[in-house]
Structure 1
Amino acid sequence: MKIDILGVQAFVAIADFGGFQKAAETLHITQTAVTQRLRNLEDFLGVMLIERTTRSIALTSIGEDFLPQARRLLQELSSTLSEIRETGKAQRGDVALACVPTVGIQYLPQVIQAYTARFPDNRIKILDHASSRVAEAVQRREAEFGISLAGSMHPDLVSVPLLEDQFVLVCRDDHPLAKRRSLTWTQIQPYPLIFSGDVNGNRALLDSYLGDKSADLNLQFQYDVQRSATAVGLVASGIAAAIVPRLAILKGSYPRLRIITLKEPTISRQLVLITRKAGHLSPAAQALYDMIRTGR
């Protein structure tokens, strides 16, 4: 059913101000427009709401019964619109975002803290997924935006660069390589390694960077795990060294861990912010998106 708000507004104004001219002045329209709006409402309802003479107007019995309901309808609509408007201005609301787990370990927490300080009433839902699932969550509207690895995107999605995350070797302080500040990939060949692999796309990324060089390398991937956090935990237990993105290591969480730069080549993964191409972020989500993009 189409609700004739303009007609209801005209009817209430005529009743409240006692005539068409005063109603027109209040609504900032012509008297002819007020008359037409009332006529349209009466035609839609199939009843007369106001009796007109050349000198006066009077509400019909149906008009008298309808007037308090009409006033309440306009008041509720006005209150609802004002609330939405103020919510937008204040950037209030719940936010859902998807991200690869390593972002949630080190990069995201400081931004979330700053966001919560500015918008303490906003709730944040974080979906930590593998890279492919991040894009899927945004596409399916499970999340308003996402943080994932750069790569081919669905045509409905768009991405912007966020940061570079370098792959490093992490080992415990009693490991033979613990005192090294940097190593080449060739130099780590003799040592058992933990790798957090295919679920996050890291293996394919490393293979693409190493290229033909990988044929000459014989890296000892003795342990294969799903997530980088698991690899770091195993390293801290003294199982072996691991190749992980730098963001996977939370500073101070494992005091005995040592981070060693890998070079020749230096390999990084590009993290990107993902949104729907035709979508519009809610004010609350836009505020968080902007803070993540600027890092503050």
Structure 2
Amino acid sequence: MKIDTLGVQAFVAIADQGSFRGAAERLNITQTAITQRLQKLEEYLGVPLIERTTRSMNLTETGRIFLPQARRLLAELSAALIEIRETGMAQRGDVSIACVPTVGVQYLPRVLRAYAARYPHNRIRILDHASSAVAQAVLHREVEFGIKIAGEHHPDLQTEPLVADSYVLVCHRDHPLARRRRIAWRALSDYPLILAGDISGNRALIDAALDGSGIELHSFYEVQRSSTALGLVAQRVGAAVVPALAIQKDAYPTVRAIELVEPAITRSLVLVTRKSASLSPAAQALYTMLANSRDGNVKEILNPAD
């Protein structure tokens, strides 16, 4: 059903002003326009709302009953529009995002703290998924935007670079490699490793980078989350290859992180949105803060000065 708000507005103005001329002046339109709007509303309703003669103008019984309802309708519409405008200007509202789990360890929290300080009333829902699931969540409108590993994606999605993240070896401080500052990937062949499973985008990226190099990694334990790998390392189960962003400062005092070289393998994290999407003001504010943080150094995030 199409609601004729202009006609309702004209009817209320005529009733309040007591004349078509007064209503036209109040709405800053011509008398002809005010008459046409009322006529259109009456034609739609199928009943007259105002009795008009050359000398007088009075509400019909239907018009008299409808007037308070019309006033309430316009007041509610005005209040709703004001609320939307003020919410947009204040960038208030709830936000849903998806991200790969390692982003939620160090990188995302720092941005969220700044966001919460600026927009303390906004609630944020975070879905931590594998990279492919992040893309699906954005595509299917489960979230407004996401953070995933760069790579091929659906043509209806678009990405924006966020941060580069290198892979490191993590091991217990009693491990034979714990005193090394850097180590070549080839040297890992002699040790049982904890590696990401096939569901993780990290495994595919590492396998592709090492393809053709002759380097063979021995996966004794397979996990889906880097947090699980770090827990196993802390209990001396083995050494693991994880993204640098997965390491939470001071969470595991007995765990050491060692730079992996020859080759140096990094992954690029990107912001992902639907091409046709128009983010809510609250989500746009968070997206902008994340985009503006993309020049941040991963080492600075892992070892903040404050």
TM-score calculated relative to the size of structure 2: 0.93
The alignment partner of 1:289 has SS state of helix
Question: What residue ranges of structure 2 are gaps of 5+ in the alignment?
Answer: 295-306
- 1:3-40 residue CA offsets vs partner (Å, 9 max, x unmatched): 11100100100110111111111111111000000011
Q: Give 2:228's aligned residue.
A: 230
Q: Give 2:176's aligned residue.
A: 176
Deviation at 1:218, TM superposition (A): 3.1
Q: After superposition, where does 1:79-228 map in structure 2 within 5 Å?
A: 79-213=79-213, 215=214, 217-228=215-226
Paired with 1:273 and 1:89, the residues of 2 have a C-alpha distance of 24
Paired with 2:130 and 2:218, the residues of 1 have a C-alpha distance of 24
Q: Give 2:257's aligned residue.
A: 259
Paired with 1:218 and 1:243, the residues of 2 have a C-alpha distance of 13
Deviation at 1:295, TM superposition (A): 2.3
Deviation at 1:284, TM superposition (A): 0.7
Deviation at 1:122, TM superposition (A): 1.1
The alignment partner of 2:199 has SS state of helix
The answer as to 2:263 corresponding to 1:268 is no
TM-score calculated relative to the size of structure 1: 0.97
Kept in 1: contact 2:162–2:293 (CA 8 A) = no
The alignment partner of 1:206 has SS state of helix
Kept in 2: contact 1:162–1:293 (CA 8 A) = yes
Paired with 1:149 and 1:103, the residues of 2 have a C-alpha distance of 10
The answer as to 2:237 corresponding to 1:239 is yes
Paired with 2:259 and 2:184, the residues of 1 have a C-alpha distance of 8
Paired with 2:185 and 2:77, the residues of 1 have a C-alpha distance of 66
Kept in 2: contact 1:199–1:227 (CA 8 A) = no
Paired with 1:66 and 1:224, the residues of 2 have a C-alpha distance of 70
Deviation at 1:257, TM superposition (A): 1.2
Deviation at 1:2, TM superposition (A): 1.3
1:286 pairs with 257, 261, 284, which one?
Answer: 284
Deviation at 1:270, TM superposition (A): 0.8
The list of structure 1 runs, each at least 4 consecutive aligned residues, that deviate by more than 4 angstroms after superposition, is none
The alignment partner of 2:106 has SS state of helix
Aligned AA (2:193): L
Aligned AA (1:52): R
Deviation at 1:266, TM superposition (A): 0.3
Paired with 1:106 and 1:199, the residues of 2 have a C-alpha distance of 22
Paired with 1:243 and 1:46, the residues of 2 have a C-alpha distance of 75
Deviation at 1:56, TM superposition (A): 2.4
Deviation at 1:188, TM superposition (A): 2.4
Paired with 1:251 and 1:199, the residues of 2 have a C-alpha distance of 26
User: Greater shift after overlay, 270-279 or 187-196?
Assistant: 187-196
Paired with 2:57 and 2:38, the residues of 1 have a C-alpha distance of 13
Number of equivalences: 294
Deviation at 1:211, TM superposition (A): 2.4
Deviation at 1:219, TM superposition (A): 2.3
Kept in 2: contact 1:100–1:148 (CA 8 A) = yes
Deviation at 1:173, TM superposition (A): 1.1
The alignment partner of 1:198 has SS state of coil
Aligned AA (1:163): V
The answer as to 2:70 corresponding to 1:70 is yes
The alignment partner of 1:69 has SS state of helix
Paired with 1:246 and 1:8, the residues of 2 have a C-alpha distance of 62
